[in-house]
Homo-oligomer: A and B are copies of this chain.
Amino acid sequence: MAPTTNTRVLFASIPKDFPIPGETTVYDTSQQIDLEHVPLNGGFLIKTLVLSIDPYMRGRMRAPKTKSYSTPFTLGAPLAGYGVGVVLRSEASDVAPGKYVYGDSIPHQQYAVLANMDRFNFLERDPKLPWTVYVGAAGMPGKTAYMGWKEFSRAKKGETAFITTGAGPVGSMVIQLAKRDGLKVIASAGSEEKVKFMKSIGADVAFNYKTTDTREVLAREGPIDIYWDNVGGDIFDAALEHANIFGRFLMCGMISGYNTGHEPTKNMHLTFGKSLTINGILHSHLLHKHNAEFYSKIPALLANGEIKYTEEVHHGLESVGEAILRVVIVVAEE
């Protein structure tokens, strides 16, 4: 078989603030690959099916010397992220052709040779769910929500939770987990459409933080026992002000700062008077405890509609640049 084009999305330059498709990321068709003969070196060849565009990826588009919890992308090399691939050929004894693999190191290219399963797990698809769900509600964002909630919320029936970016893939899962645990849920997002969606999945109080004062809502509907933070800054401060004694704060990411720097927190002095607990969530630190349980429970609930999800799907590797920009901009403005 003749070599085929292995389309890729390359990290071309470090964004100053927002990524620029065609400049900070470049869609590239220059690489050829011979699918039958490309050396596997003991690994396996996949065809990439689905790639997830997640806010943390912006953090990887940085200079190598800047430290962060994620490793920086390499300039000139493809982006990489969560994705699903199907195995085409394999020299690894534990990896059979036809298997589906999921993990955070799928290169943004049509075909890729992976060395081993270290950063991947096999997936079996529920026939009612498309593969895209396995990078969303049944993937890293869903796991972040499920494992963070499970590990740190100490949720008790009748308590009140405040969940930010409640229409996003993480927040919407958290809303539904909180409702399943019998909590009153206050949820915020940045548009009327999102407010409607958050109500449709069970939020008792849903508001648009751009048009409604967060502190007024929390003063009326709080105090809050659990706060799920995706935003940081002033809303985090408002949550500290309206936290109940023994409140639990789950820090999942501060989306607002990925492009333009993080807003400072002014109210950390409220943590001791109220005996608050704040936990940073990184789902990869929780996988060993909750991954099996997650896959045994959540995809089935998604498939039968007990837990709802939305997804925004773009098609083609050539859309990655825009998708990153869109995700980043959508989220940053939310």
Contact = CB atoms under 8 A, between A and B. Distances in A.
A277 B286 CA distance: 14
A280 B273 contact: yes
Contact of A265 (B253, B257, B264, B279): B264
How many monomers of this protein are in the complex? 2
Interface in A234-270: 236, 245-246, 249, 251-254, 257, 262, 264-270
A271 B280 contact: yes
Contacts of A270: 69, 280
B281 A280 contact: no
Interface residues of A, number: 34
A191 to B, nearest CB: 24
Interface of A: 68-70, 232, 236, 245-246, 249, 251-254, 257, 262, 264-282, 285
Contact of A274 (B69, B253, B268): B69
Nearest to A246: B285
A268 to B, nearest CB: 5
Contacts of A282: 272-275
A264 B264 CA distance: 6
B285 A280 contact: no
